Amino acid sequence: MPPQCCEPDYDALFDDRAARRELAEYRRNGPSGATRRLIERIVLEGVEGTSVVDIGGGVGVIGAELLGAGAARLTDVDASRAYAAAAHEELERRGFGDRVTVRHGDFVRIADQVAPADIVTLDRVVCCYGDWEALIGRSSERAHRLLGLVYPNDRWWTRFVVRTGNVVMRVFRQRFRFYIHPEREIDARIRAAGFERRFHHRSIGWQTVLYRRVPD
Ligand SMILES: C[S@@+](CC[C@H](N)C(=O)[O-])C[C@H]1O[C@@H](n2cnc3c(N)ncnc32)[C@H](O)[C@@H]1O
């Protein structure tokens, strides 16, 4: 279904050209910066035989790396048709096709149709979605053991960059907007859902955070 009036058009920004570029970059250099850090921390917690849901999986980097490290199954959900197709292509090429489901759609809307998993990841996705409470709420509900995120630091300079980016979006008549969401509230929301923070790293722009569900 095409996006309705005023909904963000993920296909316009995350298009085939961008997907091709990111896939080539990943094949050349592997996972970059914060993504690599998140993958390494998840692997340290143990991934053998686990199920993974990667929300906004882009070209499939986290999925491919965790399956390569021993995860058993992956569901990759992406709101961009081109990115979902690129992820599918990459995961097939790596020989993971029979352990993977790639779904196109807004995770918040289709979360009920996505089976819960041991590990749920959101790598640079929270900054692409307006309703952080719904996104974080539905993601944490679906995570049995680990919830990993990469999202922007809530600082004046990141807000400045995002505001500038959104002016550019408006000038080019794009409906898509970037967001800096309140990190204290995000952290509190995840803890209230039953998680403890296991790892936290900040670079200038991004924070990498891994939460583990506290056993009952
Ligand atoms: C900046 S890209 C990051 C891609 C990948 N995770 C990475 O770090 O390379 C953001 C991705 O999240 C997707 N996305 C944003 N909101 C989403 C949602 N609610 N449900 C599913 N995908 C979403 C976009 O379509 C896009 O592919």
Q: pLDDT by residue (tens digit) across 37-88?
A: 999 999 999 999 999 999 999 999 999 999 999 999 999 999 999 999 999 9
Task: For residues 76 and 50, give the distance between their C-alpha atoms in angstroms, rounded to a whole number.
Answer: 14
Task: For residues 119 and 74, give the distance between their C-alpha atoms in angstroms, rounded to a whole number.
Answer: 9
In the chain, domain spans: 10-213
Q: Check whether 5 has a pLDDT greater than 60.
A: no
101 and 71 in contact (C-beta within 8 Å)?
Answer: no
Give, for ligand 1, the residue of 128, 129, 151, 176 to mutate: max count of ligand atoms closer than 8 Å to Cβ. Answer: 128
Provide CB contacts within 8 A for 162, sequence distance 6+.
127, 152, 178, 179, 180
pLDDT at 73: 98
Reported as type and span, the H/E element at residue 205 is none
Task: For residues 20 and 28, give the distance between their C-alpha atoms in angstroms, rounded to a whole number.
Answer: 12
Ligand 1: atom nearest CA of 61 is 9
Task: Give the count of beta carbons closer than 10 Å to the beta carbon of residue 80.
Answer: 25
The CATH topology of domain 10-213 is Rossmann fold (3.40.50)
pLDDT at 176: 86
- The average pLDDT across 117-135 equals 97
